[in-house]
Amino acid sequence: MVGVGDEDFGADTDHLWGIGGSARWVWKCFTRGLNPIFMDPYRNSPHHATAALDPQWDPLRRAMGQTQVYARRVDLAHLMPTDDSKLCSTRYCLRNPAREYLVYQPGSGPLSLQLEPGRYRFEWFDPGQNKVAASGLVQWRGGVRRFTPPVGGAAVLYLVVAKGTAH
């Protein structure tokens, strides 16, 4: 695991800096194999049970929900994080070569991914709009493949070997 040394591989805002974080931080943690944990500040009350949630943190909360959806969807037990730019140009990547890849592009523009030969279903997720922006099939002979997100800004690429394809 690429981590901070905690036994649970968590990234807890309370222990990192207190109140803080962003949607980008959540996705970066998740695609580095960490468990992002947000110390949610409450508004107008020192007693959390009766306080209102501060809407300023809604994008971060939404990103935590988005990563949870992918965590339940992918074979998380077999995906390994990499921060090797030769394998994944963004360095935010969970991969199980020849089977499944989840890549976060925190900026905009293309990304490069070392991809094993095969036929893959792909999905581009736009975290800012909270929706799938494009999907389809891609065939690849192996090696580094360049992908261009169909959206400006941050994007998530999910690739999984197409059913009926030998591994």
Q: Which residue has the higher pLDDT, 119 or 50?
A: 119
- Which range of residues forms the domain containing residue 50? 10-73
Q: Which residue has the higher pLDDT, 47 or 95?
A: 95
Q: Are residues 83 and 155 in the same domain?
A: yes
What is the pLDDT confidence band of residue 5, given thresholds at 50, 70 and 90?
very low
Query: Residue 22 pLDDT > 70, yes or no?
Result: yes
- CA distances to 98, 144, 146 from 117, rounded to whole Å, are 7, 10, 14
Q: Are residues 43 and 86 in the same domain?
A: no
Do 98 and 159 meet the contact criterion of CB atoms below 8 Å apart? Answer: no
Do 48 and 42 meet the contact criterion of CB atoms below 8 Å apart? Answer: yes
Q: Are residues 83 and 157 in the same domain?
A: yes
Q: Are residues 82 and 108 in the same domain?
A: yes
**What per-residue confidence (pLDDT) applies to 130?**
97
39 is a domain residue: yes
Percent of the chain having pLDDT more than 90?
63
The pLDDT of 62-74, averaged and rounded, is: 95
**What per-residue confidence (pLDDT) applies to 55?**
79
What is the pLDDT confidence band of residue 47, given thresholds at 50, 70 and 90?
low
Per-residue pLDDT reduced to its tens digit, 28-37 = 989 998 777 6
Domain count across the chain: 2
Query: Residue 53 pLDDT > 90, yes or no?
Result: no
The bridge status of strand 35-37 relative to strand 10-12 is: parallel
Q: Are residues 94 and 116 in the same domain?
A: yes
Q: Are residues 30 and 67 in the same domain?
A: yes
Do 40 and 58 meet the contact criterion of CB atoms below 8 Å apart? Answer: no
